[in-house]
Amino acid sequence: MPTADAAPILQVRGLEVRYGSVPALRDVDLEVQRGEIVGLIGPNGAGKSTTLQAIVGTVRASAGEILLGGVSIRGQAPERIVRSGVGLVPEGRRIFAALTVEENLRLGLAGRRSKNGAHEALEMVNELFPVLRESRRRHAGLLSGGQQQQLAIGRALVAEPDVLLLDEPSLGLAPTIVDAVFEKLGAIRDRGVTILLVEQRAQRTVAFADRTYVLANGELRMTLGPGEAGDTDRMVAAYFGS
Amino acid sequence: MTEHVQTLLDAVALGSIYGLMAIGIGLVFGVLRLVNFAYGQLVMAGAYALALTQDVSVVLSIALCFAVVLALSLAMELAAFRPLRNASPTTMLVATFAISYLLQSIALVRFGAIGKILVVIPQLTKPLTIGSLHVRWITIVTILVAAGVFAALTLFLTRTSIGLQMRAASIDSETARLLGVRANAVITVAVLISGAIAALVAVILPMAVPERILVTPDYALRETIIVLVGVVVGGIDRLLTATLGGFTMGFLVGALSGFLPSSGSWPFTSSVYLDSAVFMLVIVVLLLRPEGLFTRSRRSVVDRV
């Protein structure tokens, strides 16, 4: 839930990223208030994943500023950024298939800022995703795609991040499983977790998020509210730059 | 028959030492993707520390050996491995060649080429007699120590947070870092454990292998090369397969040198042609199972190296 604290928990100002001489992001500004779900949509190659990678420090920003709770995190090592309160559910889930479900979740504890409360955090995730508790001794590689996505989300949540970044959590999942994933994201929102959601499913994301940024060709084109999910003309115009 | 049992036990002991070195090399490879060619020089440094202080108390001498090897391991990590963190595996391998020859040269300049006699605990080289079987105590101690180290390391890797993080970093270090795993801390712990094992080998090797009683600048170099071959043959990707590879090479060297006659003409002269026989077997294994003797993956040996 949004609090009285007006300062955004995550703020990106004038972000630029280049791959060699090719600009991937140009002058991107976005902000996420505490308790919000903010969407980030756009066509393939728009720079959505690059934005998340720049925030977590796996891609170097050539210009601009990234602030977490008002403090700059630009240029820091990824593990330090994660330990500062940024959780990431990476594209493709990237779970450790050879480790058990429980070991994957325990790994997520590495991102915690305090050693206290780790047990409670694991319990919270097991309550949110009962399938993880049921299959805690199984190798994570044996889980279905949807279960692996729940594990990837749970693994990031046990660190109790200030803001959770999700990179295309519905990618490669069957429609019914996508429904379940969005339902879980709603439950996570209800627990007061701040979310920045990168998605290909544009309309669904716009309807789901409090605000959604549309990114195309490395630039922010517009911001949409949940009521504008049906405004396909505007979205198409943003996507194709007309 | 008794002689064969003694030879086999000695071969298991030698396999255990090589297995220990394989663990040391495999641990660092796991987290850094770095084949540490200079691993033998850590053993050499420890052996010199022991040789130079053996007139003092045994405990103090062994403690000093561990201190020297751990300090050198840490220095390697900070001065060489860390600055080359993002370098290609080839660059890192060549860097460890350089470190290896640098340390050998320092030892040569400082201590000379003649070498120093080293007997750490003379009592352990005496035999234990069971009927007609004579087994040296160090043989038994070596096997037990290697088994103990492997068991302790397995517990460490599966039961502790840092061990779990080490396993994750060895599978996918980028994802591990994205979960908050401190890469440098995990790597430093792996390098230090690897160093502690090198120090342990420095203590055991001169007692367990009679020709290793003389500490020279190229001490443990031959063992390192054979162990490196062993971990590749076994499967360097996983600690267990790497260890089994190292153990198998040690066992083969021990068994062949025991069972082959010590005189005669090729191919029956073990003292001269032992390495040829061992490496011939390695070539046969790599031809038949290029993915590694103990691994289940189908990646080629070139990829793994």
Residue A114, classed as helix, strand or coil, is coil
DSSP per position, B200-263: HHHHHHHHHSGGGGEE-TTTTHHHHHHHHHHHHHH-TTSHHHHHHHHHHHHHHHHHHHHHS-SS
Confidence bin at A121 (pLDDT 50/70/90): very high
d(CA A211, CA A233): 18
pLDDT at A114: 86
Predicted confidence at residue A174, as pLDDT, reads 85
**Mean pLDDT for the stretch of residues A31-50:** 92
pLDDT at B302: 44
Q: How large a percentage of chain A has pLDDT more than 70?
A: 97
Q: For the residues B252-274, what does the mean pLDDT come to?
A: 72
The ipTM, to two decimals, is 0.90
Q: Is the pLDDT of residue B267 over 80?
A: no
Asked whether the predicted pLDDT for residue B265 surpasses 90, the reply is no
- Highest mean pLDDT pick, B7-11, B63-67, B134-138, B271-275: B63-67
Q: Between β-strands A86-89 and A163-167, what pairing exists: parallel, antiparallel or unpaired?
A: parallel
Residue (of B6, B3, B4, B2) closest to B140 by Cα position: B6
SS3 B135: strand
Q: Are residues A165 and A87 in contact, defined by beta-carbon separation less than 8 angstroms?
A: yes
Question: Which residues are registered as beta bridge partners of A68?
Answer: A10, A71
- Kindly report the average pLDDT of chain B as a whole number: 88
Residue A5 scores a pLDDT above 60: no
- Are B178 and A88 a contacting pair at CB < 8 A? yes
- Tens digits of residue pLDDT in A142-155: 999 989 999 999 99
> What is residue B145's predicted lDDT score, i.e. its pLDDT?
96
Q: Which of B161, B172, B179 sits opposite A155 (nearest CB)?
A: B179
Which range, A20-24, B69-73, B224-228, has the best average confidence (pLDDT)?
A: B69-73
Residue A39's nearest CA partner among A207, A208, A197 is: A197
The reported pLDDT for the residue numbered A240 is: 74
Q: What distances in angstroms separate CA A75 from CA A24, A59, A65, one per listed residue? A: 17, 9, 10
Tell me the β-bridge partners of A18.
A23
Residue B264 has pLDDT above 60, yes or no: yes
Angle of the B2-32 helix axis to the B221-234 helix axis, nearest 10: 80
pLDDT of residue B268: 58
**B300 has a pLDDT exceeding 60:** no
Q: Which residues contact A212 (CB under 8 A, 6 or more apart)?
A: A38, A39, A40, A41, A205, A206, A223, A224, A225
For chain A, say whether B172 makes contact (Cβ under 8 Å): yes
Q: Do B180 and A98 touch (CB under 8 A)?
A: no
Using DSSP's 3-state secondary structure scheme, residue A194 falls into strand
3-class DSSP state of B48: helix
**Which residues sit opposite A22 in a β-bridge?**
A19
- pLDDT (tens digit per residue) in A64-83: 999 999 999 999 999 999 99
pLDDT of B277 higher than 80: no
Sheet strands side by side (includes A163-167): A86-89, A163-167, A194-199, A37-41, A211-216, A219-224
What mean pLDDT do residues A161-180 have?
89
How far A202 CA lies from chain B's nearest CA (Å)? 26
Question: What is the β-pairing status of strands B133-136 and B214-215?
Answer: unpaired
Which token pair is B52?
């130079």
Is the whole model's pTM more than 0.90, yes or no?
no
Do residue B167 and residue A99 have CB atoms under 8 angstroms apart?
yes
CB B44 within 8 A of CB B103: yes
Is residue A112 within 8 A of residue A118, CB to CB? The reply is yes
B chain contacts of residue A110, beta-carbon cutoff 8 Å: 161, 165, 176, 179-182
B255, B206 Cβ separation under 8 angstroms: no
- The answer to whether B105 faces chain A, any CB pair under 8 Å, is no
Contacts (Cβ under 8 Å, ≥6 apart) of A183: none
Q: Which of A132, A187, A146 is nearest to A164 (CA)?
A: A187
Interface test with A, best of B172, B177, B178 (most A CBs within 10 A): B178
Task: Provide the 3-class DSSP secondary structure of residue B114.
Answer: coil
State pLDDT tens for residues B104-162.
999 999 999 999 999 888 899 898 888 888 889 999 999 999 999 999 999 999 999 99
pLDDT of amino acid B281: 80
Interface contact flag, A90 B175, Cβ < 8 Å: yes
- The DSSP bridge pattern shows strands B116-117 and A37-41 to be unpaired
Q: Which residues of B83-119 are buried (b: 16+ CB within 10 A; e: fewer)?
A: ebeeeeeeebbebbeebbeebbeebeeebeeebbebe
Does the pLDDT of residue B39 top 90, yes or no?
A: yes
The ranges assigned to domains in chain B are 2-219
Min mean pLDDT across A194-208, A225-239, B205-219 is at A225-239
pLDDT of residue B140: 94
- Tokens for B50? 């022991």
For chain B, say whether A163 makes contact (Cβ under 8 Å).
no
Angle, helix B2-32 to helix B161-171, in steps of 10 degrees: 80
Query: Is B171–A159 a contact, with Cβ atoms under 8 angstroms apart?
Result: no
Looking at residue B122, its pLDDT comes to 87
| pLDDT for position B297 | 56
Burial A86-101 (b: 16+ CB within 10 A, else e): bbbbbbebbbbeebbb
Phi-psi region at A142: left, alpha or beta (left = phi > 0; alpha = psi -120 to 50): alpha
E strand or H helix that includes residue A18: strand A10-19
Pick from A40-44, A187-191, B9-13, B184-188: least confident: A187-191
- Is residue B161 within 8 A of residue B168, CB to CB? The reply is no
Highest-confidence range of A28-37, A175-184, A222-231, B266-275, by mean pLDDT?
A: A28-37
Q: Report the pLDDT value the prediction gives residue A115, as an integer from 0 to 100.
A: 83
d(CA B299, CA B291): 5
Q: Which residues of chain B does A82 touch, with a Cβ-Cβ cutoff of 8 Å?
A: 177-180
Q: A187 — contact with chain B (CB < 8 Å)?
A: no
d(CA A210, CA A208): 7
Question: Could you say which DSSP state residue A94 is in?
Answer: -
Would you tell me how many other CB atoms lie within 10 Å of the CB of residue B1?
A: 7
Please give the DSSP secondary-structure letter assigned to residue A27: E
Q: Which residue of A has its CA nearest to B186?
A: A110
